[in-house]
């Protein structure tokens, strides 16, 4: 759209496009599974992702489902349903926890000011954000000084008397791969503004429909998408300029290559060792992968609502975060496999999406996602690996039965994707479910600035931050600032293996 004279080539190692934004079928169970959580932020009002979809014409090709509830928090002694509206959600929390009204009001005030400013960062950068510049600069400086370098956990300790309030409202941190002790409070405010104030929605069917719509857009524009084609090497000429890529022993010439694979994988596996990349490698040593993800796919023999679960999204919460945090820290320190299972699987929150409520035609499907670590997972195709998957399934089912006993006797089928599975299909370092870790410091994310190989650009959640919206927003920002070197001939943009969605958007604009 923005550069119609260019040709685009997308190269994907998997048999379907989309990376995490894809789906797979199990015909015997009459089920279709999304590979991972595909809740989209920024899909209403002034939301950036909705605006990008509108500009791309995707809203004419996709049907969206807007859930009635933000989510359900399932605590040991009660379930709390949170409305999918900021005003009503704040009112609900104040009614449930009157002693914490002041802290709740402060939280929402922070979201409405600092979360909003953080959310519209690209508009601020390009001068289209309609706020008085003096006040805006003052507020941004205040937020970065006081909120960027403290964690959600630290902020909530000062803000709330009841552990339940902070526990419940911290759950959206899972959307970007963080526990309360991980994420910057300022980044968390951004997430709340994006998901609650700017709307959240799911693609009707599965997220595969979004990826397929983007592929169709590329092909209608004269581009091409190659599936089942692993990239072997990114070729660089003697002038430290991208020359193209070699994939499945075929060479594809390109003067610009947009890479969405994990940067450590690119540097270690796709670029030759003799290139002068020592400075980049040193920066990448500081780039921490986000938590891995382990996923349980479940099919029941009846609708989940019949078993007591009718909300589209539920978080199963076992322990107060301080106790769960202590267990996670001990697990990380000792790397004891059984302690890791206890800390990550039994006592950390689990996100459960009721996909049947979103698309009944895809089966009686529930999908469980939790933050995990690849370090305690044995290698695939070993007896220990199979036993560990069985233990994970049993633990998730028991947590489900404790809160929703109506499911006992109705689980028909289960399947597990471990961090090893995600490495297999995406080459994401450590099986990271959310790209690079976003904590109280983001300095390692700038590894790609002044990258020594000209014409090579890094994209995706490894540089933009977690979530679909962050990746699309960063891609749009780069598209607005990027121009082809010459219009004398068409060129090809080639993508390395990984989640294609963000970069398809960039190249089709």
428 located within any domain? no
The total of structural domains in the chain comes to: 3
Q: Assess whether 78 and 191 both reside in one domain.
A: yes
pLDDT at 444: 52
423 located within any domain? no
Q: Assess whether 168 and 117 both reside in one domain.
A: yes
454 located within any domain? yes
Indicate which CATH number applies to the domain containing 214: 3.50.50.60
Write out the residue range of the structural domain in which residue 118 sits: 67-198
Q: Which of 198, 216, 249 is the C-terminal boundary of a domain?
A: 198
Q: Assess whether 83 and 129 both reside in one domain.
A: yes
Phi, psi of 37 (to 5 degrees): -55, 130
Return the closest-CA partner of residue 433 out of 19, 96, 114, 131.
19
Burial class (CB in 10 A: 0-12, 13-18, 19+), 231: buried
pLDDT at 499: 35
Q: Assess whether 212 and 267 both reside in one domain.
A: yes
Q: Assess whether 27 and 110 both reside in one domain.
A: no
pLDDT at 498: 35
Please report, for residues 147, 317, 350, 396, the alpha-carbon distance to residue 188 in angstroms, rounded to integers and kept in the order given.
10, 19, 18, 27
pLDDT at 496: 34
Q: Which of 159, 177, 198 is the C-terminal boundary of a domain?
A: 198
pLDDT at 487: 29
Biggest distance spanned by C-alpha atoms of the chain: 68
pLDDT at 478: 81
Can you give the pTM of this predicted structure?
Answer: 0.91
427 located within any domain? no
Q: Assess whether 311 and 394 both reside in one domain.
A: yes
Q: Assess whether 84 and 180 both reside in one domain.
A: yes
Helices (DSSP H) in 222-285: which residue ranges?
A: 263-265, 278-284
Q: Assess whether 333 and 398 both reside in one domain.
A: yes
Q: Assess whether 123 and 169 both reside in one domain.
A: yes
128 located within any domain? yes
2 located within any domain? no
pLDDT at 503: 31
Phi, psi of 80 (to 5 degrees): -115, 115
213 located within any domain? yes
pLDDT by 10s per residue, the chain, length 509? 566 667 789 999 999 999 889 999 999 999 999 987 789 999 999 999 999 999 999 999 999 999 999 999 999 999 999 999 999 999 999 999 999 999 999 999 999 999 999 999 888 877 788 778 888 889 999 999 999 999 999 999 999 999 999 999 999 999 999 999 999 999 999 999 999 999 999 999 999 999 999 999 999 988 999 999 999 999 999 999 999 999 999 999 999 999 989 999 999 999 999 999 999 999 898 888 899 999 999 999 999 999 999 999 999 999 999 999 999 999 999 999 999 999 999 999 999 999 999 999 999 999 999 999 999 999 999 999 999 999 999 999 999 999 999 999 999 999 999 999 999 999 999 999 888 888 787 555 678 888 999 999 998 889 888 889 998 988 888 887 765 543 222 223 333 333 333 332 222 22
Q: Assess whether 27 and 72 both reside in one domain.
A: no
Q: Assess whether 218 and 313 both reside in one domain.
A: no
Q: Which of 198, 229, 256 is the C-terminal boundary of a domain?
A: 198
Of the CA atoms within 13 Å of residue 322, those in its CB half-sphere come to 7
Q: Assess whether 56 and 73 both reside in one domain.
A: no
pLDDT at 41: 97
Of the CA atoms within 13 Å of residue 480, those in its CB half-sphere come to 13
169 located within any domain? yes
């Amino acid at each position: 759209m923005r550069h119609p004279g260019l040709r685009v080539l997308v190269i994907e190692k998997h048999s379907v496009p989309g990376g995490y934004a894809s789906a797979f079928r199990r015909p015997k169970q009459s089920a279709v599974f999304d590979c991972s959580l595909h809740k989209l932020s920024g899909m209403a009002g002034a939301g950036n992702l909705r605006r990008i979809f509108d500009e791309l014409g995707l809203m004419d090709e996709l049907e969206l489902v807007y859930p009635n509830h933000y989510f359900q928090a399932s605590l040991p002694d009660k379930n709390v349903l949170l409305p999918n509206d900021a005003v009503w959600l704040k009112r609900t929390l104040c009614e449930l926890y009157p002693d914490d009204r002041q802290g709740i009001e402060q939280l929402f005030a922070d979201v409405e000011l600092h979360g909003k400013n953080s959310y519209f960062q690209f508009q601020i950068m390009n001068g289209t954000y309609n706020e008085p510049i003096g006040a805006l600069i003052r507020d941004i400086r205040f937020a970065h000084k006081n909120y960027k370098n403290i964690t959600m956990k630290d902020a909530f300790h000062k803000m709330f008397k009841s552990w339940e309030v902070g526990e419940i409202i911290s759950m959206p941190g899972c959307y970007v791969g963080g526990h309360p002790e991980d994420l910057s409070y300022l980044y968390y405010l951004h997430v709340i503004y994006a998901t609650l104030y700017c709307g959240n929605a799911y693609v009707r069917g599965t997220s595969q429909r979004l990826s397929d719509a983007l592929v169709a857009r590329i092909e209608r524009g004269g581009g091409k998408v190659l599936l089942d084609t692993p990239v072997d090497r990114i070729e660089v000429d003697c002038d430290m300029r991208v020359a193209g890529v070699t994939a499945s022993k075929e060479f594809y010439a390109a003067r610009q290559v947009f890479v969405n694979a994990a940067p450590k994988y690119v540097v270690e596996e796709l670029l030759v060792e003799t290139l002068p990349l020592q400075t980049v490698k040193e920066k990448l040593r500081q780039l921490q992968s986000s938590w891995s993800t382990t996923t349980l796919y479940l099919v029941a023999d009846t609708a989940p609502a019949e078993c007591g679960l009718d909300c589209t999204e539920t978080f199963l919460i076992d322990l107060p975060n301080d106790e769960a945090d202590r267990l996670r820290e001990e697990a990380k320190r000792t790397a004891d496999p059984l302690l890791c299972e206890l800390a990550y699987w039994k006592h950390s929150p689990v996100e459960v999406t009721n996909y049947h409520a979103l698309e009944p035609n895809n089966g009686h499907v529930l999908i469980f996602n939790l933050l995990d670590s690849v370090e305690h997972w044995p290698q695939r195709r070993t007896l220990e690996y199979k036993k560990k998957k069985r233990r994970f399934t049993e633990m998730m089912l028991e947590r489900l039965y404790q809160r929703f006993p109506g499911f006992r006797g109705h689980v028909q089928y289960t399947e597990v994707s471990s961090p090893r599975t995600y490495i297999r299909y995406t080459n994401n370092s450590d099986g990271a479910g959310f790209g690079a870790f976003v904590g109280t410091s983001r300095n390692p994310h700038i590894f790609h600035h002044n990258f020594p190989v000209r014409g090579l650009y890094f994209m995706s959640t490894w540089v933009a931050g977690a979530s679909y919206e962050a990746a699309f927003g960063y891609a749009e920002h780069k598209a607005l600032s990027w121009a082809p070197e010459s219009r004398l001939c068409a060129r090809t943009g080639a993508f390395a293996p990984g989640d294609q969605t963000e970069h398809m958007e960039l190249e089709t604009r």
